[in-house]
Amino acid sequence: MRASPISRLPTKRTDARVTRLLSAWRDIRIVGKALWINTALFLGLLVVGAGVMRIRGCYPQASFLELVVDTFHMSHLERVVEPGDGVVPSVLTFVVPLLTIAILGEGALRVARVYLQRGERREEWDRMVAETFSKHTVICGVGELGRAVFQRLIAVDPNAEIVLVDTRPGVLAEHGHTAPNVSHLQGDMTVLETLKAAQCQEASLIILASGNDAFNLEAGFKALQLNAEAEIWIRLYRSGLASVMDLRTKPNVHFFSPYERAAEALAEHVASTGSDPHSS
């Protein structure tokens, strides 16, 4: 008996909630990673402030950790200086909050601007999304073959992290895919910075699927420079080109021709059904 549409509603609602939770978790990861430099600079400011007070002999009875805590209190305008403490703590009480606002405020404003305007600043947001991926798949060239590979990978594992690289805008919109585990970077696959932005250095699988053999070979060579451990698949119309590249000696680099694969499949089908190619 086929389930009624009403019985399927809870499942759809559950899937929607899961998707929203995954999106929220992805956004938290993106924001956290985007702010790590500012956080590191702030921690450095606390250490420097404590170091200055230690060198200048302020609070000789306090441990270095206690001086770091005092600098932290200074950063949010909490008074820790008492009369007779000297010039250095008084100056730090004024300087540390200003530097804190500059360091943390810049990061917060930058990330908030990109996050709130991620529809208009899509390219920058997608790059931030890609930076959170590791052990993921990168597909360069999202034409007919690239699209088919992408759809097959998503069908096998809907939660697979995938970065699509193509010169055309709106690739995800074309496929109607809005899941948080897929990112699209609009860029040239032969440019090293584009491959770095796609996190090829962290990927486990890289597929070069454009319709241009030269582009695929060049991008494959650069991807191998970035990540010598990833499985790299390079599409070639003229499979003989692979023989002129040293990439043949790399066990993790594979070349494939869709025409040869199609011809092999057709020949096997014809052989399995007899000599008549029109038989079914």
The tally of CA atoms less than 13 A away on the side-chain side of residue 36 is 9
pLDDT tens-digit series, residues 159-216:
899 999 999 888 877 777 777 788 899 899 999 999 999 999 999 999 999 989 889 9
The tally of CA atoms less than 13 A away on the side-chain side of residue 100 is 18
Q: What is the pLDDT of residue 4?
A: 46
Residue with token string 């990439």: 247
pTM reported for the whole predicted model: 0.62
Q: Where are the beta strands (DSSP E) in the chain?
A: 137-140, 162-166, 182-186, 205-208, 231-235, 253-256
Choose from 14-23, 80-89, 208-217 the range with maximum mean pLDDT. 208-217
DSSP, collapsed to helix, strand or coil, labels residue 97 as helix
Measured at the CA of 237, the angle between CA 260 and CA 213, to 5 degrees, comes to 150
- The architecture in CATH of the region 133-268 reads 3-Layer(aba) Sandwich (3.40)
Q: Which residue has the higher pLDDT, 16 or 154?
A: 154
Q: What is the mean pLDDT of the chain?
A: 80
Q: How many helices (H) and strands (E) does the chain have?
A: 10, 6
Tokens of 218: 């060049």
pLDDT tens-digit series, residues 33-57:
677 788 889 899 999 999 999 898 8
pLDDT tens-digit series, residues 94-147:
899 899 988 888 777 777 766 665 555 567 777 877 888 889 999 999 988 999
Q: What are phi and psi of 163, to 5 degrees?
A: -115, 125
Q: What is the pLDDT of residue 258?
A: 74
Q: Domain limits of the chain?
A: 36-114, 133-268
Q: What is the pLDDT of residue 250?
A: 77
Q: What is the pLDDT of residue 37?
A: 81
